[in-house]
C-alpha cells in the first residue's frame, strides 16, 4: 500500500486480518485491500476538502500532487483547526463501515 501523508494517524491491519478469514484468492484479497485503501484515502480527502475554501482546495491539491508530506501537513495544519482529530474521525467512520461490509460478507449477507 502506498504511504499517505496521514498514514501515521490510522491503523488498518485489523481490516487486513479480517480479510484473511474470507474465502478469497490472494489476488482477490490484494484487490480488496487496494479498494479499502482507496476508500479511506478518498474519505479523508473529502474531510479535508470540505474544510477548505476554493482557493485553498487548489493549493492543497497542488501539494498533494507533489507528494511532499511535510508541505501537505504544514498547509492543512495552518488552514484547518484540529485536522488530525478530523482525519482520525473520518478514518474511524469509514473503517466501521468497512468492518461491517467484511462481516456481512463473511456471514453471506448482502451489504446494506
Domain limits for position 68: 7-106
Long-range contacts of residues 95-100, Cβ cutoff 8 Å, at least 24 apart: 95/10, 95/12, 95/15, 95/40, 98/15, 98/36, 98/39, 98/40, 99/14, 99/15, 99/18
pLDDT per position as a tens digit, 17-76: 888 878 888 898 888 888 888 999 999 999 999 999 999 999 999 999 998 888 999 999
Q: Is 48 inside a domain boundary?
A: yes
In a domain, 1, yes or no: no
Rounded distance between C-alpha atoms, residue 109 and residue 106, angstroms: 8
Query: pLDDT higher for 102 or 71?
Result: 71
* pLDDT class of 77 with cuts at 50, 70, 90: very high
Question: Looking at the domain assignment, is residue 42 inside a domain?
Answer: yes
User: Comparing 2 with 98, which gets the higher pLDDT?
Assistant: 98
Q: Is residue 91 within 8 Å of 9, Cβ to Cβ?
A: yes
Q: Which one is predicted more confidently, 34 or 16?
A: 34
Q: Give the per-residue pLDDT at 108.
A: 65
Which residue has better confidence, 5 or 65?
A: 65
Q: Which three cell numbers stand for residue 23?
A: 474465502
Q: How many domains does the chain have?
A: 1
Distance CA 103, CA 1 (A): 22
Amino acid at each position: 500500500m502506498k504511504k499517505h501523508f496521514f498514514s501515521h494517524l490510522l491503523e488498518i491491519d485489523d481490516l487486513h486480518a479480517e480479510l484473511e478469514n474470507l474465502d478469497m484468492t490472494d489476488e482477490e484479497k490484494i484487490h480488496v485491500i487496494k479498494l479499502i485503501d482507496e476508500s479511506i484515502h478518498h474519505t479523508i480527502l473529502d474531510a479535508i476538502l470540505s474544510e477548505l475554501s476554493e482557493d485553498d482546495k487548489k493549493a492543497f491539491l497542488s501539494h498533494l500532487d507533489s507528494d511532499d508530506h511535510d508541505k501537505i501537513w504544514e498547509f492543512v495544519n495552518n488552514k484547518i483547526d484540529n485536522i488530525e482529530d478530523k482525519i482520525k474521525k473520518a478514518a474511524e467512520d469509514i473503517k466501521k463501515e468497512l468492518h461491517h461490509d467484511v462481516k456481512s460478507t463473511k456471514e453471506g449477507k448482502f451489504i446494506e
